[in-house]
Chains A and B, each alone.
Chain A
Amino acid sequence: QVQLVQSGAEVKKPGASVKVSCTASGYTFTRYAIHWVRQASGQRPEWMGWINVGNGNTKYSEKFQGRVTITRDTAANIGHMELTSLTSEDTAVYYCVRDFEHCTGGSCLGYWGQGTLVTVSS
């Protein structure tokens, strides 16, 4: 079965960077896009961007453009999301999410990792 296992919780100081990892199993890694979505406590989810795992192409939300980098390691079946210049507003749970196979013609968020809490505090 499809599984996405994320790296552990992080505590960062303002101005620092964080890199969250997502290890995929149970399917052909290069076949489906990986998205990153974050959710602050009590707030709605917020889509950050995605990567075409097959060719490495990325698309980012303009809100995070310049601060976020999504990459993948196809040899290890791992996706990464790095966010720089952190502020307290970036405190949230970060999720990696795989495309749902039946959203043909589009893309929707079918398989979610367990989430990684990133806390930004001085």
Chain B
Amino acid sequence: DIQMTQSPSTLSASVGDRVTITCRASQSLSRWLAWYQQKPGKAPNLLIYKVSSLRSGVPSRFSGSGSETEFTLTISSLQPDDFATYYCQQFNSYPWTFGQGTKVELK
């Protein structure tokens, strides 16, 4: 199975901060990587697919980049609605796997 490792596990930040979350895969993913946001008690919500494609309706302050085994999710200016847990997920090979999550909390 492809192992997905995110860093950091917890991130303390303030409104307006630029935030970067890293996701590393145990083998190359080509472009088959997605990012999700999850709030307590809710299902994950797809933000970015194929590394850098922003889902319609997702604010442009979210962006994704990377290739092969290293990927990043960036929030250019953190907003109050962005405090949540973020997961990366690979869909390069079965079984699809998720990172352990990065919780973005208020500093």
- A interface with B by C-beta (< 8 Å): 44-47, 59, 61-63, 95, 100, 102-103, 106-110, 112-115
Question: Which residue of chain B has its CB nearest to the CB of A93?
Answer: B43
Query: What's the count of A-B pairs with C-beta under 8 Å?
Result: 55
Task: Give complex CA distance A113, B45 in Å.
Answer: 11
Residues of B within 8 A of A45 (CB): 36, 44, 87, 89, 98
Main secondary structure of the interface of B (DSSP, over half): loop
B49 within 8 A of A: yes
Q: Does B14 contact A (CB under 8 A)?
A: no
Give the docked Cα–Cα distance between A95 and B98 (Å).
15
- Knowing A44-B98, A63-B95, the reply to whether A110 touches B43 (Cβ < 8 A) is no
Kindly identify, within residues 88 to 105 of chain B, every residue whose CB is under 8 Å from any CB belonging to chain A: 89, 91, 94-101
Contact, CB under 8 Å: B94 / A44: no
A62-B100 contact, Cβ under 8 Å, with A102-B53, A109-B34, A115-B43: no
> CA–CA, A110 to B91, complex, Å?
13
Which of B46-61 touch A at CB < 8 Å? 46, 49-50, 53, 55
Q: A109 contacts which of B44, B94, B95, B99 (Cβ < 8 Å)?
A: B44
| Chain A interface main SS type | loop
Q: Which residues from chain B sit less than 8 Å from chain A, CB to CB? A: 32, 34, 36, 43-46, 49-50, 53, 55, 87, 89, 91, 94-101
Q: In the complex the two chains form, is B99's CB within 8 Å of A62's CB?
A: no
B43 to A112, Cβ gap below 8 A?
yes
Partner of A103, one of B49, B87, B94, B97: B49
> Hey, which chain B residues are within 8 Å of A106, CB to CB?
32, 50, 91
A108, B95: Cβ atoms closer than 8 Å: no
Q: Which residues of B contact A61 (CB under 8 A)?
A: 94-95
B49 touching A47, Cβ below 8 Å: no
| A112 lies within 8 A of B94 (CB) | no
